[in-house]
Amino acid sequence: MTNATPEGSDLPQASIGRVIVDQRKIELIALGLMIFSLWFYQLGSWVLPGCLAAGILLGLLNHLATEYWLLKVISSGRTPTRAELTRATIVRLSILAVVAVAIAALFWPDGIGVLLGLAIFRLIALVMTTLPLLKELKHQ
């Protein structure tokens, strides 16, 4: 399957570079959160801040993978089936869960920061994607 858009259409072309550019706000927030988590290094251990930063990074990678998949679907012009949506989500979240739990188990008990970092990032990403939608609905 190529990333080319159909002739004469205004559909965006799917590329990782485009996703990175389009998602720069959330990337900057994730970077800020990771830097802020490293502030906890003052408590004497690098494990908790490192795990928090790893969780935020995993959340960001999941977000970017989701956006890339959605852009590919949109640029292809086809409508995915419910089974395709479910399968893509389960595969992506299964990989995320296995990696996050493995890191948490490896660095236990401070490794739980990975899951905390994921939760914090997910909450912020949810708010950042919901607010523009709410503003759009308010204007209609």
Domain boundaries, the chain: 16-139
Please state the rounded mean pLDDT for residues 87-109.
90
CA–CA gap between residue 119 and residue 14 (Å, rounded): 28
| pTM across the whole model | 0.78
Percent of the chain surpassing pLDDT 70: 89
Percent of the chain surpassing pLDDT 90: 16
Q: What is the tens place of the pLDDT at every residue in 1-44?
A: 444 444 445 656 777 888 788 788 888 889 888 888 887 776 67
Q: What per-residue confidence (pLDDT) applies to 12?
A: 62
CA–CA gap between residue 58 and residue 115 (Å, rounded): 10
